[in-house]
A and B are shown apart, each in its own frame.
Chain A
């Protein structure tokens, strides 16, 4: 069974440019998470989806970040415009559901460098 797929794996852009990250969760997983991991830090939750609904986006900087999961399967995270401080690894994870402490499975991440 395929794991969580993310693309691209690496992205280098100049500041003020837009960027988008794509995630395809494990088949059948209803819950999808986007995490931000700064260098030398643990991941921090940005947004959680239950099917196509964003049920926890309290940590998402909504002035420049947006996300969507239109059909309740794959998801896109966008930054527009990117700032130098956005350089980090963006992780996607999925789980069967948000109840019962279901195990989260993580993708390899997208490493973003903003110049």
Chain B
């Protein structure tokens, strides 16, 4: 069975500061991992995905995530926060390539302090 844990349901950072959103997964097979973002009144948008190629994955809007098998983590980072990054972020896992059923974490709401 797959599971995802997102540490911190709310994270606040100052504009220009580092953004770090944590995600740990549990999987009995090599996982495929995703980060989605939901802006207010919008649908979920794919930020980036890990599919067993490079362990450091770059996504849209300057975000990146590093797959660390030894730590079962897939933390999301951005060097410098922007006001437009305020949103809710979801980490998700899928067990097989081609099986698109996703298991999500509980989400982290990111607030940017001016």
Whether both chains belong to one complex is answered with no
B binding-site residues for A, Cβ under 8 Å: none
A binding-site residues for B, Cβ under 8 Å: none
